[in-house]
Amino acid sequence: MNHSIPLAERIRPRNLDEYVGQEHILGPGKPLRKAIESGMLPSMILWGPPGVGKTSLAFLIAEVSKRQFHNLSAISAGVKDLREVLARPSGLFPPILFIDEIHRFNKSQQDALLGAVEKGKVTLIGATTENPSFEVNSALLSRCQVYILEAFGQEELRCLVDRALSEDELLKTLPIEVIGTDSLFRHSGGDGRKLLNLLELVILAQQGNDPIKIDDETVESLVQKNFARYDKSGEQHYDIVSAFIKSIRGSDPNAALYWMARMLVAGEDVKFIARRMLIAASEDIGLANPTAMMVANACMDAVMKIGYPESRIILSQTAIYLATSPKSNAAYNAINHAMEVAERTSHLPVPVDLRNAPTKLMKQIGYGKGYKYSHDYPGHFVKQDFLPEDLKGFKFYQPGENARENEIKKNLKNWWEEWYGY
């Protein structure tokens, strides 16, 4: 039996109907599906975690559109490789240029793409696991449509297993008995490639057995022995960064340093680590210690200037600071609550006294009339309605229990106790 080609590669979808998941963009009538079927393809960035079908989708788009297809990896390709591809003659329609891990291209490499994309010489499809707002320069990003691909749920993972067992030429002849898949799904973490690699490992480890059993006990024992196999290309990326952030949130600097070290020795991008800490400084510390945001932002800036390995010291200092800081998720909860309400109440008008009145007509019809300028009153404060009438007294922000927010709570009580119940 030839195992040189991984299972995930052997069962790549051959058409859109075989493609698993991403119904929110590829279901009937959805935007990307319509673009593919019409042949009116925009340049695009496919953004999502590992193993959700970004590369498969790029190949399918090329197959359906019948265009020339050029494939480059940002890990190994340089400006010279780009220019050679861009110089090749094209047919009636611009060729598709697929760049895997486009976030690894530096500014000069991305700039080399810009002109060709802008003039329509190529249709760019970039794949990235990183937020393109940070990793793709704004000029190139503005000329691309961003499509977000989501991690697979259990139904999609089950579909992948069923396809592999029923359609793969090497597996469908084997006496395989599926007893349980919970452990298989759990260890895949929504990553289809990881799922298929693990499925293949479980089957090959039992080669010669009759039947070959897929069950939780077998999966768990093999994962313990072979887990490193699934981390060669950073597939534990999201599990480890999750442990890192939860350690900071849980005020354990030792665990935070350990998980950070795991990322560093695996070659994780130091900018990614700094960016995650910047988010944690607001989400998990917030107003309990506003200085945390400044420390994390300074860390992000310093890491970008210095680079690895020296930046590990700055990352360590920041991780320890954040882990040992007082915590509050009040700001995080407040904006989530406000956005939830805003979704339901976007029809409510802005109160007339709060509206801007840049023209004479607007002033005549009452825009801004009755507004009280806070600085004209003692203590720079005066009670007035700032919310729509239907939301009067609606409280989004609830201060956390910490020294800093206790002071905030005291001020809010003095100002708004009657209206918001602080």
| Tens digits of residue pLDDT in 73-119 | 877 777 787 888 777 766 677 888 898 888 888 777 888 788 888 88
The C-alpha atoms of residue 154 and residue 158 are separated, in whole angstroms, by 6
Is residue 8, in this structure, part of any structural domain at all?
no
* Residues comprising the chain, all counted: 422
Last residue of a domain, one of 231, 251, 282: 231
Cβ neighbours of residue 27 closer than 8 Å, sequence gap 6 or more: 33
Q: Which of 199-208, 255-264, 269-278 shows the lowest mean pLDDT across its residues?
A: 199-208
Q: Are residues 34 and 115 in the same domain?
A: yes
β partners of residue 99: 72, 126
Structure-block tokens of residue 183: 């452990």
Contact 324, 287 (CB under 8 A): no
Counting the structural domains of the chain, the total is: 4
Backbone phi, then psi, for 387, in 5-degree steps? -105, 160
Is residue 2, in this structure, part of any structural domain at all?
no
What is the pLDDT, as a whole number, of residue 378?
92
Last residue of a domain, one of 148, 175, 193: 148
How many Cβ atoms sit within 10 Å of the Cβ of residue 11? 22
Contact 71, 43 (CB under 8 A): no
The residue range of the domain holding 266 is 237-323
Is residue 288, in this structure, part of any structural domain at all?
yes
Report the C-alpha dihedral over residues 13, 14, 19, 24, rounded to 10 degrees.
140
Q: Which of 42-46, 180-184, 329-333, 403-407 shows the lowest mean pLDDT across its residues?
A: 180-184
Is the backbone peptide bond immediately before 253 cis, with ω within 30 degrees of 0?
no
What is the pLDDT, as a whole number, of residue 90?
67
Is residue 12, in this structure, part of any structural domain at all?
no
Mean pLDDT of the chain: 86
Q: Are residues 205 and 252 in the same domain?
A: no
Contact 172, 32 (CB under 8 A): no
What is the pLDDT, as a whole number, of residue 225?
56
Please state the rounded mean pLDDT for residues 352-358: 85
Helix (H) or strand (E) holding 47, with range, is strand 44-47
What is the pLDDT, as a whole number, of residue 1?
44
Q: Which of 16-25, 218-227, 256-265, 266-275 shows the lowest mean pLDDT across its residues?
A: 218-227
Q: Are residues 401 and 349 in the same domain?
A: yes
Contact 354, 315 (CB under 8 A): no
